[in-house]
Each structure stands twice: as C-alpha cells, then as structure tokens.
Amino acid sequence: MPLRKIIIDTDPGQDDAVAILLALASPDEIEVLGITAVAGNVPLALTQKNARMVCELAGRPDMRVFAGCDAPLRRKLITAEHVHGKTGLDGPTLPDPTMPLCDGHAVDFLVDTLRTEPAGSVTLCALGPLTNIATALQKAPDIAPRIAQIVLMGGAYFEVGNITPTAEFNIYVDPEAAEQVFACGAPLTVMPLDVTHKALVTAERNAAIRALGTPAGLAVAQMTDFFERFDREKYGSDGAPLHDPCVTAWLIRPDLFAGRHINVEIETASDLTLGMTVADWWRVSGRAPNATFMGDLDADGFFALLTERLGRL
Ligand code: RIB
Ligand code: CA
C-alpha cells in the first residue's frame, strides 16, 4: 500500500486521541504531515493542548500541531464536556505537553500544505467540527481540487442523532461548515454513527488494550473507561463507541468497512433538524452522489488492528 500523506483535523476528545495514536503507530501506511486543532468537544485552548499531549504519548514530540478556529463559522460554540470531561481527555493522568504549539493558524497550514504538496497527494482526516476545513476552502477555493480525499467522522442516518434527536455532534456544532465541505467536490468518505456505534470497546476488548502494558495502552484503556459512561447510559451500549479511530483505521484497512456512494446534504435552515445529514441511502432523491457513507464494520478486525498497532507505541 503506498504511503498516504494526511493532515488530521481534530478536537481531542478521547476517541480523537485513539485515532491519532493509531495513525502515528502506522508509519508504513500513513505520514502525518501535521495536526490541526479545532474547537469542538472542548474549547480550542484544550483541544490544541490535548493534541500535543497525545503526540507526546505516542513518542512524537516532533509532530507539528497548529491551533485553528475557536468557534463555528456563524454560531456559538457548543462543547461536549458531558461526554469527554472538563479537560476533554478525562480518564488517564497525562503530563502537560512540553512540545511547542506551532506558530501560525491551522487554516494557513492547511492551505499552504495543500498548495505546496503535489495535487491529489494529501488526505484530510476530519475528526471534529469542520470549521477549519471550511474556513480553508473559503480562504483558498483553489485547494479543493488539490485534496486527495476528505475522510471524516460525522453524521448519521439509521442511528439518527447523538446531540439532538436528528444530528450528530461534529456536524451539529458547525452545520454551515459541513455544508461547505460536503459541497466542495473533494472525494468524501464519511464515518457516521451508523458505523461508529458498531466499534464498541467491550470489556474484553478494553482488557486486551490494557494488557499491552504500555503507557499508550494503559492511557487508552483509561480513556475508554471514562468515555464509555455516556453511551452506556444513553444507548445501553456494551462499551464506548470509538468514533474517530474508524477514520484512521479506514486508511489502513478499508476492507474492514462497507458503505454506499450516495448523496448527503446538510440541514442548515430548520432549528428542529439542524445539522442532520440527509443521507439518500435508498437513492430516491435523484441528487448526485457526493460521499461514500459507511454503514458496516468488521468490529473484531477493527479491534485486532487497533490493539496490534497500539502495541507498537
Ligand atoms: O459524535 C461523535 C464525534 O463528536 C466524535 O468525533 C467525538 O470526538 C466528537 O467530536
Ligand atoms: Ca472528535
């Protein structure tokens, strides 16, 4: 498999952290050009700090981490401390980062990198609200055709909403940004709740991660111990859903996933359904497909991959 160059746009978040660790543990498949933090699960001051803490946990204090947008394009920031805790990375006790935050805005890093790297060679992996990416597209429309792919965690169809009855958090926080990203023309692969709710860290799976006996393995086990209580209480889930690691796992093992190439539009007008991903799963709208929308996952294969790769850190 050729090496894939990626930028991870993220709002860590325990599940973001696991996605980042998986990417950094897979240098034969993935070259992380940089990490761009966005406000989402917790405010930007924490997401950029958490991103650096995760890089140091992975033994990568050299990684370039940039701070991006601290609020959605047009709306007030909504955060998710009720899920992720007040730090955004509750669970393990990780040391404050010593690696520096890079100078410059994350949006400029996105634009400059996409303009500098060969066209079609950089994949954007979006794990949070799409504010940074939408802002980059607004600032530099010329980057859209240069993006190889956008692989994002967001949305839902059969699973409907996790922050409102109809909307998933990443899309709901900045629906106008999502609308722009889904319309930008770059090839989209979407990991909605329909598939991420099948990536449950059961007690057995978490025990296998903890049994790695490494700082990263222990930290991930402690993150999911904390992170799972929201979904257990709400859905009766048998463990935490690892939403964002579906994005980086897909880069390594796309065969673990199944979905459909369909039309997906974003609700931005109705207060009742704001942020809903209107996924034409049954292809009844006649609207042109714009996204590969995942619906199924080989969960055992996913966790075997994740555990093996975490064991490399
Ligand atoms: O709805 C789940 C998504 O929202 C995940 O990316 C999680 O980290 C939060 O950002
Ligand atoms: Ca996230």
pLDDT number for residue 218? 98
* Angle of CA points 98, 31, 20, to nearest 5°: 55
Q: Please, which residues have CB within 8 angstroms of residue 76's CB and are 6 or more apart in sequence?
A: none
CA distance 245 to 253: 12
pLDDT number for residue 1? 67
Ordered strands of the 122-126 beta sheet: 65-67, 30-37, 4-10, 122-126, 147-153, 188-191, 291-297, 257-262
| β-pair partners for 189 | 151, 292
pLDDT tens by residue, 139-196: 999 999 999 999 999 999 999 999 999 999 999 999 999 999 999 999 999 999 999 9
If we measure between CA atoms, which residue out of 174, 138, 141 comes closest to residue 267? 174
pLDDT number for residue 125? 99
Tokens of 136: 């980059």
pLDDT tens by residue, 268-311: 999 999 999 999 999 999 999 999 999 999 999 999 999 999 99
φ, ψ dihedrals at 237, nearest 5°: -65, 150
Confidence of residue 227 (pLDDT cuts 50, 70, 90): confident
Is residue 9 over pLDDT 80?
Answer: yes
CB of 11 within 8 A of CB of 37?
yes
Ligand nearest to the CA of 153: 1
Is residue 205 over pLDDT 90?
Answer: yes
Residues with CB under 5 A from ligand 2 (ion): 11, 13, 16, 127-128, 244
Is residue 2 over pLDDT 80?
Answer: no
CATH architecture of the domain covering 4-310: Alpha-Beta Complex (3.90)
CB of 293 within 8 A of CB of 184?
no
pLDDT number for residue 34? 98
Residue whose entry in the numeric block shows the structure tokens 């955004």: 88
pLDDT number for residue 48? 98
pLDDT tens by residue, 52-84: 999 999 999 999 999 999 999 999 999 999 989
Pocket of ligand 1 (CB under 6 A): 11, 13, 15-16, 40-41, 127-128, 153, 162, 168-170, 243-244
pLDDT number for residue 228? 84
Residue whose entry in the numeric block shows the structure tokens 């530099």: 140
Domain ranges in the chain? 4-310
